[in-house]
C-alpha cells in the first residue's frame, strides 16, 4: 500500500513536470518567435525624409524586438516622415525615431548647415522619366555652346547631389527638382541654367564616387563612333547644298549659257 502511494506521488510529479516542460516550451517559443519588422536597408542620416527605397523587412525575435518597432503593415504610414537619428543598415525603424510632421516647420528644417536649397525646372525626359524621388542622389549634366568653336559641349556640372523634393507628380507632367547644394554650387547652377541645357542623371544610392569625366564635344563623339570628323562640319551637307554644284571645279569648266 505504501509503495502504491509512492508510485502515485511519483506519477503526479512526473505529470506535473511534463506539464511545466510543455508550458516552458510554449512560452520560450513565443518569446523567440520571429516577428516581421521594418528596418533600414542603408545608412539614413538624421533629418532625412524616409522613402520606401530606403526600407526593407526583416524577422526579428520577439525577445529582441523594440516595443516601438513598426510592422510592415504600416509601411505606407511612415513614408515622407523625417528621421530624428542616424540609422545604419539593419536598424529597425521606430515610431519614436520619426519626426512628426507638425514638429517640422518646413523644408528649411531639413537642410543641412552650410547647404542651400534651390529648385530648377526639368521635364520628364530629362529627369529619368519622372522616376527621381525625394532623397535620391543625382548628377547634373550641362550642355552649352562653346564660345571659341561655336560647337556644342556637354560636361558633368555637379555630382552626387541630394534631391530634397520633386514637383514631378507623374510621368506626363513637367516639374522641378529641389537640390541641396553649397553656396558656390548654387551660383554655378543658376548661371548654367541661363547659358545652356541641363539633364539629370540618377545614381545608385550606394554610389558616392566622384568621377573626373572630361567634357565631350562633336570630335569626341565621332571618335567614340570610330568616325573621324570632317575638317569643315558644313561639308557634311555638301551634296545637299545646290551652291556646291555651281562652285565645283567641273561647273567652272562648263561654258555659260
Domain ranges of the chain: 34-100, 107-219
Give the rounded distance of the alpha carbon of 60 from its chain centre.
27
In this predicted model, what pLDDT tens digit does every residue of 240-249 receive, in sequence order? Answer: 444 433 444 4
Tell me the average pLDDT of the chain.
Answer: 74
Q: What is the fold, at CATH topology level, of the domain defined by 34-100?
A: Type Iii Antifreeze Protein Isoform Hplc 12 (3.90.1210)
In this predicted model, what pLDDT tens digit does every residue of 27-67 receive, in sequence order? Answer: 555 556 778 888 999 988 887 888 888 899 888 876 656 66
Measured distance CA(43)–CA(66) in Å, rounded: 19
Residue 47's SS3 state is: coil
Q: What is the mean pLDDT of residues 72-96?
A: 84
- Percent of the chain scored above 70 by pLDDT? 65
This prediction has a pTM of 0.49
Confidence of residue 73 (pLDDT cuts 50, 70, 90): confident
8 A C-beta contact, residue 54 and residue 79: no
Residue 79's SS3 state is: coil
Measured distance CA(152)–CA(87) in Å, rounded: 44
Q: Which of 232, 40, 90, 209 is CA-nearest to residue 139? A: 209
Confidence of residue 257 (pLDDT cuts 50, 70, 90): very low
* pLDDT value of residue 13: 72
Residues forming a β-bridge with 39: 56, 92
8 A C-beta contact, residue 198 and residue 138: no
Measured distance CA(137)–CA(197) in Å, rounded: 20
C-alpha distance from residue 96 to each of 48, 68, 235 (Å): 15, 7, 69
Give the rounded distance of the alpha carbon of 41 from its chain centre.
13
Confidence of residue 143 (pLDDT cuts 50, 70, 90): very high
Amino acid at each position: 500500500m505504501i509503495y502504491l502511494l509512492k508510485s502515485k506521488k511519483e506519477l503526479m510529479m512526473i505529470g506535473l513536470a511534463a506539464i511545466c516542460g510543455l508550458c516552458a516550451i510554449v512560452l520560450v517559443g513565443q518569446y523567440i518567435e520571429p516577428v516581421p519588422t521594418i528596418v533600414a536597408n542603408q545608412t539614413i542620416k538624421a533629418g532625412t525624409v524616409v522613402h520606401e527605397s530606403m526600407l526593407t523587412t526583416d524577422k526579428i525575435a520577439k525577445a529582441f524586438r523594440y516595443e516601438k518597432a513598426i510592422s510592415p503593415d504600416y509601411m505606407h504610414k511612415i513614408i515622407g516622415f523625417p528621421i530624428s537619428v542616424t540609422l545604419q543598415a539593419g536598424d529597425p525603424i521606430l515610431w519614436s525615431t520619426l519626426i512628426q510632421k507638425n514638429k517640422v516647420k518646413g523644408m528649411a528644417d531639413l537642410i543641412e548647415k552650410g547647404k542651400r536649397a534651390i529648385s530648377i525646372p526639368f521635364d520628364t525626359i530629362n529627369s529619368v522619366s519622372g522616376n527621381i524621388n525625394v532623397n535620391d542622389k543625382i548628377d547634373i549634366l550641362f550642355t552649352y555652346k562653346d564660345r571659341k568653336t561655336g560647337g556644342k559641349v556637354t560636361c558633368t556640372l555637379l555630382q552626387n547631389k541630394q534631391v530634397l523634393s520633386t514637383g514631378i507628380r507623374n510621368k506626363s507632367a513637367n516639374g522641378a527638382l529641389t537640390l541641396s547644394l553649397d553656396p558656390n554650387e548654387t551660383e554655378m547652377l543658376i548661371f548654367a541654367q541661363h547659358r545652356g541645357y541641363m539633364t539629370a542623371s540618377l545614381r545608385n544610392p550606394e554610389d558616392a564616387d566622384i568621377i573626373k569625366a572630361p567634357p565631350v564635344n562633336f570630335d569626341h563623339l565621332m571618335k567614340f563612333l570610330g568616325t573621324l570628323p570632317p575638317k569643315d562640319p558644313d561639308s557634311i551637307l555638301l551634296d545637299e547644298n545646290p551652291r556646291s554644284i555651281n562652285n565645283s571645279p567641273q561647273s567652272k569648266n562648263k561654258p555659260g549659257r
